[in-house]
Structure 1
């Protein structure tokens, strides 16, 4: 009996310590995020004069904010760039009138349009961008999704990191533009708390955490890794890009600017579907570490910590409530840092936070029980270690 009690005592100490360590990690991320995201860099005139950038944007169908987002790239204050707009299939025709309108409005911007793509694997984004990639004329390439809204000085700031010859990729942490309603706050809370906490901690620990929505990279370093086409057989090309660069001794640098996502349609259902899809991708890439994800979430850690506290003689309820409140307040501080001080309605922020924390376990379980995802209107089967095939493709019998 004493041996069981000793074992439970040790387990309780470990779980209680883990819950307290995670709060400390919160504040380490908060301090690091404040320093990292709000620092300023100067771009030298030498870089201005010598480094041109090819901006490749994959365009899929029509989004009601497409014109607003795309126009921000026509208004960049960087003096030497080209816009390579890659329109996927014929059904993506609705974006062509918008492109024509913007070209007429900004005639001095160097713009090229590519229709169709090149089949280099199941990844539709890579296939779509291949013609633009092959036609790019500058040594630096900025891959930017169609849903990105960018301020005029965004590229200028990202270029300031290229002065370090060891840097192969400059990446931006994803966040969202303000959007009215509960779904807008839900995205804001998700990207500004859970995702940004993991993202910033990964950067601090020099781990691969690339988000493919906005990546500025050296064409030379990408060529060393086999070129863009080498990443067409996975849906998580950003993760494999980062891994390939780190394996070759290159560095990844985080921009102080955010990749602002500005999608025209939002809902709680779309949010859950997106988080479930991302969970399935993570489980396919890293199946064993992904199983530990629930133990990094608020309600799971607070419950385990409270049970441990009770076993050690403390109040279960006091610990549970106090821990959740501290976690929530820490998240709000981080969200304020990431959003540059603007939270909006505190009531909606709280409801969105509560919804995200409550549904994360359902999204995780949904991600575990399936291997199929839908992306860009197409269905894919995920294979182990991050590879994928189209659902109508033949799947090797060994899988």
Structure 2
């Protein structure tokens, strides 16, 4: 019995190890194909303001985030003919406001406004901050960019092109006089319909100017393992997988979404639209799931990355951040997905794969594990290089030895962090304590 059980376990773990490696190689291949070459300008960027679809950019702000002036400035220098920028705050004394005014004064030619509104409709401060900008946006296409995110000048043009090219005959982009393109430019364009693209997002890439060990470990995680799996899952495209650092979608689509909370759906007047996500800390993921499942809208990515400027994080800050989002995510995914997550990490998957091969073929576990880790690191470094192809001038030089040390620390911390996250459903975010409920919604403690 014991021998049969170990044989079956070895076969299962070998298959699981092969699946994990397939995802790793798919993420690496996607990075090499999509990002490891100079980006091409969008044809939409060359259109006149009358012929281009209008876009409202919303920057929700709260306090002085890392490199705030430069991140806000990046959305004022876009190579795009028709857009506005809404800076959203909830307090007229917010420390971000003087920075916003400096940016607006430097670029008076850009249509930009400050919206200050202390509306509270739920526990999520970002959703609270977005309610008024969504209501007052001039255009249906909305691009929400987090305060720590910087983008390159061509990002918006490529995002809009990816959004509408799937929903509009591509030939219309070549003819500014075509009636179909004119209907888009007049902002009476039909919102995306079932089966079309309804959300554009970019993979986040971390940038460190303050080289504390917490920020370096976070950078190693985001620029290798996270990016690799993020690209692989989106390439497979069997379900929504969205990080809300930089998302472009239609306001009309958002307005049609119902609340994901089962208890609220049973109420006489369940919340809809953006307000439907105010009870969720991971509103980005829930909105993506809503667009995918409720409206059957696809997601797409471009060859751009979202530069995420990290502050001075301690190792404890890094651990707390990972634990927080693991506790949120485990309430939004099936149990078996949560339980399998450690097996997607390098050390656990390597040990399982090495034992499985040893059990079936009699090879050396230490030798197999070393080969596995060397190959894993090679793929991670190649993925990182590909993703940084077009942003080398925008990030400070770094030490390869320091990065490798941070990478190794991240890999060693992965399992302990996961185990710690499984012990509770409480999280702390921006100084407030929450309980994550079984629906994925959060309750303030």
Task: Output the TM-score relative to the length of structure 2.
Answer: 0.82
CA, structure 1 residues 119+70, in 2 after alignment: closer, same or farther (shift >3 Å)? same
Establish whether residue 277 from structure 1 lines up as the match of residue 324 from structure 2: yes
Matching residue of 2:30: 32
- What is the CA–CA distance in structure 2 between the aligned matches of 1:175 and 1:32, rounded to whole Å? 15
Question: 1:58 touches 1:88 (CA, 8 Å); kept in 2?
Answer: no
Residue 170 of structure 1 deviates from its aligned partner by 0.6
Establish whether residue 220 from structure 1 lines up as the match of residue 267 from structure 2: no
Q: Of the candidates 424, 435, 440, which is equivalent to residue 370 of structure 1? A: 424
Matching residue of 2:303: 256
Matching residue of 1:194: 225
- What is the CA–CA distance in structure 2 between the aligned matches of 1:5 and 1:369, rounded to whole Å? 33
Residue 287 of structure 1 deviates from its aligned partner by 5.1
Structure 1 SS opposite 2:115: strand
Matching residue of 1:211: 243
Matching residue of 1:394: none
- What is the CA–CA distance in structure 2 between the aligned matches of 1:297 and 1:263, rounded to whole Å? 23
Structure 1 SS opposite 2:81: coil
Structure 2 SS opposite 1:262: strand
CA-to-partner distance for each residue in 1:166-225, whole Å, 9 max, x for gaps? 211111111112435244432322112111122111111112111111101111211221
Structure 2 SS opposite 1:317: helix
Matching residue of 1:397: none
- What is the CA–CA distance in structure 1 between the aligned matches of 2:358 and 2:371, rounded to whole Å? 14
Larger displacement relative to structure 2 (370-379 or 324-333): 370-379
Residue 89 of structure 1 deviates from its aligned partner by 2.9
Matching residue of 2:147: 146
CA, structure 1 residues 22+47, in 2 after alignment: closer, same or farther (shift >3 Å)? farther
CA-to-partner distance for each residue in 1:324-363, whole Å, 9 max, x for gaps? 2111112111122222286842211211111001111121
Task: Output the TM-score relative to the length of structure 1.
Answer: 0.91
Structure 2 SS opposite 1:212: coil
- What is the CA–CA distance in structure 2 between the aligned matches of 1:178 and 1:150, rounded to whole Å? 15
Residue 102 of structure 1 deviates from its aligned partner by 1.9
Matching residue of 1:14: 12
- What is the CA–CA distance in structure 2 between the aligned matches of 1:228 and 1:249, rounded to whole Å? 18
Residue 159 of structure 1 deviates from its aligned partner by 1.2
Matching residue of 2:376: 327
Q: Of the candidates 270, 279, 282, which is equivalent to residue 233 of structure 1? A: 279
Residue 269 of structure 1 deviates from its aligned partner by 2.3
Matching residue of 1:336: 385
| Structure 1 unaligned spans of 5+ | 392-399
Corresponding residue pairs, total? 388
Query: What are the residue-to-residue correspondences of 1:279-358 with 2, within 5 Å?
Result: 279-286=326-333, 288=335, 289-312=337-360, 313-340=362-389, 344-358=398-412
- What is the CA–CA distance in structure 1 between the aligned matches of 2:4 and 2:408, rounded to whole Å? 36
Please report the RMSD computed on the Cα atoms of aligned residues, expressed in angstroms: 2.1
- What is the CA–CA distance in structure 2 between the aligned matches of 1:360 and 1:263, rounded to whole Å? 20
- What is the CA–CA distance in structure 1 between the aligned matches of 2:311 and 2:71, rounded to whole Å? 10
CA, structure 1 residues 389+91, in 2 after alignment: closer, same or farther (shift >3 Å)? farther
Larger displacement relative to structure 2 (204-213 or 184-193): 184-193
Residue 227 of structure 1 deviates from its aligned partner by 2.0
Establish whether residue 96 from structure 1 lines up as the match of residue 97 from structure 2: yes
Matching residue of 2:291: 245
| Structure 2 unaligned spans of 5+ | 168-195, 258-271
Question: 2:10 touches 2:356 (CA, 8 Å); kept in 1?
Answer: yes
Establish whether residue 73 from structure 1 lines up as the match of residue 67 from structure 2: no
